Amino acid sequence: MVRLSPWDTPAWRLPSELRPFYAAVNRVRDLEATPGASLAEIAAARRAVAIAALELTRLVDALRLFKAERVTVAYFGKA
């Protein structure tokens, strides 16, 4: 299982693979705390979190396959 950094970790200390996910989550948190934020804006930010989570999950799955030596670098070139 992948262990994530605390949410208050500065962006410059995060691995580059985690930055889009953390930025999306922080954007949702900021919008939900803002009294004048529109529901459409919050919904769009939540979709961005889902997309960033999906990309992170794909990366973790690919790394697991590579580590288990079930695939090679050439396999990722075809994807």
Considering its fold, how many domains does the chain have in total?
A: 1
Domain span including residue 32: 15-78
pLDDT, tens only, 16-66 = 888 899 999 999 999 999 999 999 999 999 999 999 999 988 888 888 877
* Residue 56 resides in a domain: yes
Domain annotation covers residue 41: yes
Task: Kindly give the residue spans of alpha helices, DSSP state H, lying in the chain.
Answer: 19-33, 39-67, 73-78
Domain assignment present for residue 5? The answer is no
Contact 57, 2 (CB under 8 A): no
Could you tell me if 62 and 77 are in contact, meaning their C-beta atoms sit under 8 angstroms apart?
no
- Whether 8 is covered by a domain: the verdict is no
Residue 74 has a pLDDT of 63
Residue 54 forms part of a structural domain: yes
* pLDDT tens per residue across span 20-34: 999 999 999 999 999
Residue 22 domain flag: yes
